[in-house]
Amino acid sequence: MKQRIIYSVVTTLILGFFTSFAQMKVTGSVNAKDGSALPGVNVTIKGTTKSTQTGFDGNFSIDASEKSILVLSFIGFETKEINVNGRSNISVTMQDGDTTLQEVVLIGSRNPKRTVTESTVPIDVINMKEIASQGAQTNLNQILNMVAPSFTSNTQTVADGTDHIDPAQLRGLGPDQVLVLLNGKRRHTSSLVNINGTPGRGAVGTDLNAIPAFAIEKIEVLRDGASAQYGSDAIAGVININMKKDTKKLEVNMFAGSHFSKGANDFNGGNDGNNFQFDLNYGTNLGKEKSFINVTASAQFRGYTSRAGEVTGNLYNRYNAVEERARRAGVNINTLYGNTLNPTPGFYNGLLNTINNYAQTVIYFDAATKTAIQAAATSGNL
């Protein structure tokens, strides 16, 4: 048994020695037909996965055996096979390929499927009939906000005209970088410039809520840049809205909602934020093949929601209470803080004494609070 183990170890060492001896470092250079260096040429040992690339100067280096075959390939040039034959340095000239490269065009993509596994770009295809049965959203911004992960649009308040036109964003970019299409045609932007710190400040977007949701068949959201085909206003993505094409069919929709809470109507209870919407859709043929007209009428009423009721009673904290007692006595405590950068001798004692004196007159301070204020050695202890 010991003799077999020794023979096995010796044989392994000898084989490893000859294998390493057969390997050699092969260097070389790759040039074009005009003699210029070719960077990025793939150099692969045939029959293996070992490979390298030429550098900016066209040179390469790779470990290979004496009988290896090097395969050199590069876009636009003919693939070449070179026998090493024991050479440590090889110079190769690549010949232009016979095939020509076709022009590469980047375009936006539309796909009828909801999934994006077969698309080169992420696409959401939203069927409006399916969405209508899932939630109570009534306008286009609310619907997209619910179902499209990259879409953001929130109702603004106290923001000038932005209260009426909600800015719509894709991937967090500005409203002016979202292209909106109706049946593949550009939808015009609004004339409102968003201001007052709202999303998309300084930008002009498209008023999606001006398009009745009941008139839409499906929505395609290309949530990736498509400026190569559509231009700079599609940097964030494209929203393509496909309108209904139904004919000889009347559709009616009605929605009503409200907020019921104790805080409604400025905390007087009841309900507020009433929302009512009524939609009609009808289509008819125009005589010629594939010619039709589809009309949608939509009326919406939205009431106000207010939670800004009046608060009665005192809202003072302890310092405000002391400040108010001093004010009634004709003393403005706040002016005493003006000399904190260059305090005079006894300044802090005078400030603390003033606060302590008027704190004792606050009738709803308990004894512990008054004692703590009286014992404060610095303003930071108060």
d(CA 59, CA 55): 6
Task: Label residue 238 exposed, middle or buried (CB < 10 Å: 0-12, 13-18, 19+).
Answer: buried
Rounded CA separation 174/152 (Å): 10
Phi, psi at 272, each rounded to 5° = -150, -175
Q: Is 191 helix (H, G, I), strand (E, B) or coil?
A: coil
Rounded CA gap, 188 and 357, in Å? 68
According to CATH, the topology of domain 2-93 is: Immunoglobulin-like (2.60.40)
Superfamily of domain 123-243 in CATH is TonB-dependent receptor, plug domain (2.170.130.10)
Query: 312-339: per-residue pLDDT in tens?
Result: 665 557 778 888 888 888 888 877 766 5
Closest-CA residue to 187 (of 242, 228, 141, 132): 242
The DSSP bridge pattern shows strands 271-285 and 123-127 to be: unpaired
Q: Are 329 and 358 in contact (CB under 8 A)?
A: yes
Edge-to-edge strand ranges of the sheet holding 185-186: 123-127, 216-222, 237-243, 178-182, 185-186
* Neighbouring C-beta atoms of residue 329, cutoff 10 Å: 9
Query: Tens-of-pLDDT digits for all 382 residues of the chain?
Result: 444 444 444 444 444 444 444 688 999 999 998 889 999 899 999 989 899 999 989 999 999 988 899 999 988 888 999 998 989 899 999 988 765 545 444 444 554 444 444 556 677 888 888 877 666 667 888 888 888 888 888 877 777 777 778 888 888 888 888 899 999 898 988 888 888 778 878 888 888 888 988 899 999 888 777 777 788 888 888 999 999 988 888 999 888 888 888 878 777 888 888 888 899 999 999 888 888 999 999 998 888 888 776 666 655 577 788 888 888 888 888 777 665 556 555 566 677 888 888 888 888 888 888 888 888 777 666 6
What's the rounded Cα separation, in Å, for the pair 90 and 81? 12
Q: Which two tokens stand for residue 372?
A: 């703590």
Say how far apart CA 153 and CA 209 lie, in whole Å. Answer: 11
pTM: 0.50
Domain boundaries, the chain: 2-93, 123-243, 249-302, 318-381
- CA 174 distance to own-chain centroid: 11
CA distance 170 to 168: 7
